[in-house]
Structure 1
Amino acid sequence: MSETDFDFNKLPERRGTGSVKWERYPDYIPYWVADMDFASPDCVVEAMQHRVEHGVFGYAHPHKGLIEAVLDYLSRVDGVKISEKSLVHLPGMVPALSQACRAFCQPGDKVMINSPVYYPFFKVAADAGASVIDVPHIRDEVTWRFDWDAMENAVTSRTKVLILCNPQNPLGRVFSKEEILKLAEFCQRHQLVLVADEIHCDLILEPDQVHFSALKLPEELRKRLITLKAPSKTYNIAGLGYSFAVIEDDQLRSDFNRARGCTMPEINVLAMVAAEAAYRDGEPWRRDLIEYLRENRDVLASFIRQEMPILKIHEHAATYLYWIDCSELNLSNPCQFFAKEAGVFLTDGEPFGSRQHVRFNFGCPRDHMLAGLQKMKGAIDQKLASSSGLQST
């Protein structure tokens, strides 16, 4: 079967496989952690099977095929020519964020982030004894944006790192070239290291939007830049643990590598094999995935607007994670409400910086997605009917 014949409507049986998504909260139907309910592309599975047949799994390092596949991917997708020495291979994105903070912060320093954002952004600064300056994104009539004035007012001489999430998780924003340029100029002006987490960059759902990688910034703005990428979210191989950094400045790269320490694990040999196969041969599957996710997103948005209008949503251009505003339900914890009343487990918005939101993972077969939405609607209808009954008495 070719990659383009992949059946995204098939829900694999994941219980009993050690799945965090399906087994951590077994009493609920899961739509939470950023892990799709699709099997990985055949090219990835076959490459791993071929490597397993070799039978020897000693210490491994990034092999020639992986390096060539990553460099070709960067050239093909981002249009940049990167030297091999600029690559730093890593066992995961969150460890990379932690390493960046430890490399460039001392105890008492600050790391700037913009919430709501992937919750480890709030935590990695502590690994360096640093603290977080959170300057929340602001919402206008069109979209979520950086609060430039607030960022200028919040930055201090002890601020050393700014962590960017682009495409933005959980907002689904794809920041424009102009926004990334302005952010890089802000970092240059205040002598901050810009750490650009681009893990979702291959999951742009809007055909008319293009991801502007920080790697495409002018040379003078890349001297304090660390760009992080991975095939994990796109090809559903997060459990294998592989990511990479592009750090073109020699001194910056040396400082980053020196902070690795002795707690960072080695990269799994199968993770490197899977990453090579994904980047080399997975593009047809990825294109089909994007089409399926786009349709899922549209169905989800239509369902919410028509069947659950009390929930508020905004435009969503990237990722398979939808950010949903539940504030009009007047709940102390929307995530707990949907778990208890609908049997549906979503991602709680509070660790992301927004208590009245939940995040819905629509990276799954459409019927399965709709089943969860129907359960949410039932819980909301029951709550509204109960509230109405109390008011009438």
Structure 2
Amino acid sequence: MVQSENFGEVVSRRAQDASEAASKNRMWDVMSNLWCPSTNPDGYVNVGVAENVLMHDQLLNFINTKLSLPAKYLTYNDGGSGSFRLKRAISHFLNRHLHPAIPLDPSHLIVSNGVSSAIEHVSWAFADPGEGILLGKPFYGTFIPDMSLRPRTTVVSVNFGDCDPFSIEAVAKYEQALLDFQQTKGRKVKALMLCHPHNPLGRCYPRDVIIKLMHLCQKYKLHLISDEIYALSVWENTVDQHPPPVKFESALSIDLAGIIDSRLVHVLWGMSKDFGANGLRLGVIISQANDDLHQALKGISLYSYASGVSDHLTSLLLEDFEFTNQYIRQNRKKLSGSHAYAVKYIRSHDIEYAQGCNAAFFLWVNLGKKYRQLHPDENNDEDVGDKIMQLLLQKKVFLASGALFGSERAGWFRIVFSQPREYLIEALRRMTDALALED
């Protein structure tokens, strides 16, 4: 798209910032030109976008045999925060799977058109423009625009160095980042965002670490936001056990008495990842004790209204315990198998990767180290990630760059392995071919 010479005169500064951010995101160009061996052999093989397609056949079979839309879903129904039926269905479903210390009630839920909207909402609600939200590295890259692009909140990234970000010791790193920000910027930090299970590292936070983070939030009166969009995508790691995989325990499962003011704890969940349905655009904010948040978000719910079709379809799915139990079991089995295959391939090519995964769809791999082994005459670490990305795109394979995920070391990338086996094989082959190319 050609930008006009007087672009800054016809749109706001906010719109200019959004345009600049979009220009750096290759994802949409890739997704509009996807590889198919028969119809589009010159397209991109995409293992950079967090989608799980392993269970699409099962999900579509359910949808296409069950969906019959009542007329009320063509109206505004029960309002912008989700139908009463949907909130009941989500509450009953998550009570069974997240084991909350206080059972969920429909009144605890605010439905939105996806978890990205939910993240933007809580950022807007908890922090004024310029105030901070803590986010540990590496992070899901889209957290940055979700929290800052329109709410104008400042994302305060947390460096860990050689400290395990899932350890008790890491909590001190969050506190130091908070103090540094408040001292240098003169503005408050208002919240801490946790991705649990983690994107891109594929690990779960131990219960004692979550509690320690809650203590930190209580000390500084911060909101703890636990994004648990991968809560049910936890599977058996059959190939490596170091560090030992940690079982998933929701922040909701912790009795908050004596730990943190319950008004400060919030959980996000949605249909995109656990049910492989990014296109449904259905997310939920769970806040069990903060009436002020509910009242504030009720006022802007019109701008994140989930469609009636998504509302109805999600209700149908979550009300069917037999189907969802079977779906979750099979999904976990398939994710475990895809992870094992990808790891074996990575190991056979002597590529370093982050071990101990047991959740979500990701391998966090050090392609920079492998590239330097193959090209020992090149010494510039600073641009190795950009160089590898260009080589990957030449081979028409798309991975997510660690540079956009706040990686503390150059050359790391995220591979999404939740793809059909033949697709994953093609992606990994192109990736290793790209590493051997000369720049």
TM-score after normalising by structure 1? 0.83
1:327 corresponds to which residue? 368
Q: Aligned pair 1:111/2:133, yes or no?
A: yes
Q: Which residue of 2 aligns with 1:206?
A: 236
Looking at structure 2, the residues matched to 86 and 189 of structure 1 have their Cα atoms a distance apart, in angstroms, of 25
Deviates more, 1:345-354 or 1:172-181: 345-354
CA contact (8 A) 2:136 2:165 kept: no
The aligned counterpart of 2:155 is: 132
Shift, 1:317, TM fit: 1.5
| Cα distance change on mapping 1:76 and 1:138 into 2, 3 Å | farther
Per the alignment, do residues 46 and 98 of structure 1 end up closer, same or farther by CA in structure 2, a change over 3 Å counting? same
1:353 corresponds in structure 2 to 406
Aligned residue in 1 for 2:211: 181
User: Does the 8 Å contact 1:112/1:135 carry over to 2?
Assistant: yes
Following the alignment from structure 2 to structure 1, what is the Cα–Cα distance between the partners of residues 343 and 295? 45
CA distance in 2, matches of 1:289, 1:21: 26
For 2:230 and 2:33, locate their aligned partners in 1 and report how far apart those are by CA, in whole Å: 24
1:78 aligns with 2:98: yes
Q: Quote the Cα distance in structure 1 between the aligned partners of 2:64 and 2:216.
A: 43
Q: Is the 8 A contact 2:368 2:385 kept in 1?
A: no
Q: For residues 379 and 43 of structure 1, what CA distance do their matches in structure 2 show?
A: 35
Deviates more, 1:181-190 or 1:154-163: 154-163
Give the structure 2 partner of residue 236 of structure 1. Answer: 276
Residue 335 of structure 1 contacts residue 358 of structure 1 at CA under 8 Å; is this kept in 2?
A: no
Matches within 5 A, 1:225-304: 225-254=265-294, 256-257=296-297, 260=300, 264-279=303-318, 280=320, 281-304=323-346
Shift, 1:235, TM fit: 1.3
State, as a whole percentage, how many aligned pairs show the same letter. 20
Q: SS state of the match for residue 358, structure 1?
A: strand
**Runs of 5+ consecutive residues of structure 1 not aligned to the other structure:** 1-18, 388-393
Displacement of 1:327: 2.4
Q: Which residue in 1 is equivalent to 2:194?
A: 164
Partners of 2:117 and 2:304 within 8 A in 1: no
Q: Does 1:313 align with 2:354?
A: yes
Structure 2's unaligned 5+ residue stretches are 1-27, 36-42, 238-244, 373-383
Shift in alpha-carbon separation, 1:101–1:320, aligned structure 2, 3 A: same
How many residue pairs end up in the alignment?
Answer: 362
Distance 1:252 1:212 in 2: 27
Matched, 1:59 2:76: yes
Deviations along 1:212-255, one digit per CA (max 9) or x if unpaired, are 11112223433201110112211111111101111111434335
1:37 aligns with 2:53: yes
Question: Residue 359 and residue 130 in structure 1: after superposition, are their counterparts in 2 closer, same or farther (change >3 A)?
Answer: same
Contact 1:322 1:360 in 2 (8 A): yes
Q: 1: distance between equivalents of 2:133 and 2:337?
A: 37
Distance 1:347 1:180 in 2: 27
Alignment partners' CA distance in 2, 1:377 and 1:115: 26
**2: CA distance between counterparts of 1:43 and 1:150?**
42
Output the CA distance in 2 between the equivalents of 1:251 and 1:53. Answer: 32
What is the CA distance between 1:49 and its match in structure 2? 5.9
Equivalent-residue separation in structure 1 for 2:128 and 2:61 (angstroms): 43
Give the equivalent residue in structure 2 for 1:12: none
SS in structure 2 of the partner of residue 291 of structure 1: helix
Report the secondary structure of 2:139's partner residue.
coil
Secondary structure in 2 aligned to 1:164? strand
Change (3 A) 1:373 1:144: farther
CA contact (8 A) 1:301 1:313 kept: no
User: In structure 2, what is the Cα distance between the partners aligned to 1:288 and 1:274?
Assistant: 21
